[in-house]
Amino acid sequence: MISLLDIRTRIADGTLSAADSVRAARERIAARDARIGAVLRTAPEAAVPDTGPLAGIAVGIKDIIDTADMATECGSAIHAGWRPRADAAIVSRLRALGAVPLAKTATTAFAGLDPAATVNPHDPDHTPGGSSSGSAASVAAGMLPLALGTQTGGSVIRPAAFCGVAAIKPSFRLLPTVGVKTFSWALDTVGLFGASVADIAHALALIADRPGIETAAPERPRLALCLQDFAGSPDADALVALERTARAAERAGASVRDLVLPEPFARAWAAHPTVQDFEARQALAWEYAEHRDALPPVLRGQLDRAQDLSAADYDGARREAHRARRLLKELFSDVDAILTVSSVGRAPHGLGSTGDARFNRLWTLMGVPCVNVPVPGDGLPLGVQVIARFGDDGRALAVARAIEGALASA
């Protein structure tokens, strides 16, 4: 993979130019993407900024995020060829930092569950996960050092785990979603994919203009190991990887205790789809009313069922979320981070499904920062998920970095 920090170091010491770095990204896409299908289109050739803290960084932009210089098709024929007038806020922010939003990356239709055409760079017979399929795969395949995705259920952490890349779903609304096609406004969160935790911490600190995100460093992290029983069991090798991570963290100085999430979290977990689908019904009302037949089957069925949700269902689901959020705040009073699996297991075989978000969706509903840390090993990638309290993205990243280091030296 291509490290953002490595590129920046080489640019700083004069051994690489920003323009050459971006050109190299174009060449890697041209050489590698035919077999992966992560990149839908690239920006027209243009002058590459040579100043700014992210100069020379080519970024993949999930294709539900507006770009003024490239079509934004939301993974659907309904929006084929669509050119937004303006860049999304997050794209403008990248440009202001000197980065080049170089490529639009494949998304499942409207960031739903119907698969995109992308394959897993580690094995083309396996899904890369979704909905941010192309963003995760483009980083995993070493084409881009940074990519933007979004998560409503598990659409950042799951593909990151399946593709073996570092990723963060930040605290809710840490990054602006203006200009991002909405699925659920209470859940949709812009996230980052990169080659390492340090890379995404550096990028997030700059994009959010919060230097503390990169410098936070709890000395001996207090970790709570958590299984989310209400979501069912992960695969055996995911549990082994989680356990191995916990032991490596302990050896590196962390304390680890078990955490069983009390009942209100199970109820919040169960409430997530109601919040999501009640809002999706409104957010995608035009597509459903005018182009229902052109919607892919899983999303169409989901929206069909969502027509029956009532405002009372939605209010009830939001109340469950509020209760669990209050409780989670208390849980974090003596815990730096929760450690749990990033996904059910390795990327499933076949391209007919993007996998399951059941170990992610509670945390999206809670709005808390989640980081995927790849767990080194044989076969397709596995990841662990590091979760911190709302607003403390720096702590989540610091703990994740410590874990990444502990795993590397284990």
Residues carrying an active site annotation: 62, 131, 155
Cβ atoms within 10 A of the Cβ of 165, count? 28
Separation of first and last alpha carbons in the chain? 21
Cα 90 to the center of its chain, rounded Å: 15
Q: Answer yes or no whether residue 47 interacts with a second copy by CB under 8 A.
A: no
Residue of 47, 219, 311, 378 that binds a second copy (CB under 8 A) = 311
How many residues form the binding site for a second copy (CB under 8 A)?
35
Q: Which own/partner pairs from 314-320 qualify as long-range (CB within 8 Å, at least 24 positions apart)?
A: 314/274, 314/275, 314/278, 314/279, 316/271, 316/274, 317/271, 317/272, 317/274, 317/275, 317/278, 318/186, 318/271, 318/275, 320/264, 320/267, 320/268, 320/270, 320/271
Cβ atoms within 10 A of the Cβ of 270, count? 15
Cβ atoms within 10 A of the Cβ of 286, count? 10
Residue of 19, 185, 256, 294 that binds a second copy (CB under 8 A) = 185
Q: Answer yes or no whether residue 178 interacts with a second copy by CB under 8 A.
A: yes
Residue of 8, 28, 62, 79 that binds a second copy (CB under 8 A) = 79
Nearer to a second copy (CB atom), residue 176 or residue 218:
176
Cα 115 to the center of its chain, rounded Å: 16
Q: Answer yes or no whether residue 182 interacts with a second copy by CB under 8 A.
A: yes
Report residue 161 as tokens. 């785990």
Q: Answer yes or no whether residue 236 interacts with a second copy by CB under 8 A.
A: no
Q: Answer yes or no whether residue 215 interacts with a second copy by CB under 8 A.
A: no
Nearer to a second copy (CB atom), residue 41 or residue 210:
210
Q: Report 126-145 residues binding a second copy (CB under 8 A).
A: none
Residue of 217, 260, 285, 408 that binds a second copy (CB under 8 A) = 285
Q: Answer yes or no whether residue 85 interacts with a second copy by CB under 8 A.
A: yes
What is the Cα–Cα distance from 213 to 191, expressed in whole angstroms? 14
Q: Report 55-74 residues binding a second copy (CB under 8 A).
A: 68
Report residue 25 as tokens. 């990204």
Q: Which of 373, 340, 376, 378 is nearest to 358 (CA)?
A: 340
Segment interacting with a second copy, rule: CB under 8 A, options 12-20, 153-161, 281-289, 328-336: 281-289
Residue of 92, 237, 267, 331 that binds a second copy (CB under 8 A) = 92
What is the Cα–Cα distance from 165 to 17, expressed in whole angstroms? 25
Nearer to a second copy (CB atom), residue 133 or residue 177:
177
Residue of 27, 50, 209, 243 that binds a second copy (CB under 8 A) = 209
Residue of 32, 95, 247, 325 that binds a second copy (CB under 8 A) = 95
Binding map of a second copy across residues 325-364, x = CB under 8 A, - = no contact: ----------------------------------------
Nearer to a second copy (CB atom), residue 251 or residue 329:
329
Cβ atoms within 10 A of the Cβ of 244, count? 17
Nearer to a second copy (CB atom), residue 175 or residue 242:
175
Tokens 């978000």 correspond to what residue?
357
Q: What is the largest CA-CA distance in the chain?
A: 61
Quick check: helix, strand or coil at residue 36?
A: coil
Find all residues with CB under 8 Å of 257, minimum gap 6, and list them.
Answer: 222, 223, 224, 225
Q: Answer yes or no whether residue 279 interacts with a second copy by CB under 8 A.
A: yes
Segment interacting with a second copy, rule: CB under 8 A, options 155-163, 284-292, 334-342, 347-355: 284-292
Nearer to a second copy (CB atom), residue 9 or residue 310:
310
Q: Answer yes or no whether residue 210 interacts with a second copy by CB under 8 A.
A: yes
- State the number of CA atoms in the 13 A half-sphere of 81 facing the CB: 0
Q: Answer yes or no whether residue 124 interacts with a second copy by CB under 8 A.
A: no
Segment interacting with a second copy, rule: CB under 8 A, options 204-212, 248-256, 264-272, 346-354: 204-212
Q: Answer yes or no whether residue 229 interacts with a second copy by CB under 8 A.
A: no
What values do phi and psi take at 70, rounded to 5?
A: -145, 150
Q: Answer yes or no whether residue 310 interacts with a second copy by CB under 8 A.
A: yes
Q: Which of 124, 114, 121, 153 is nearest to 135 (CA)?
A: 121
Residues in touch with a second copy (CB under 8 A): 68, 79, 82, 85-89, 91-93, 95-96, 173, 176-179, 182, 185, 208-210, 279, 282-283, 285-287, 289-290, 310-311, 315, 391
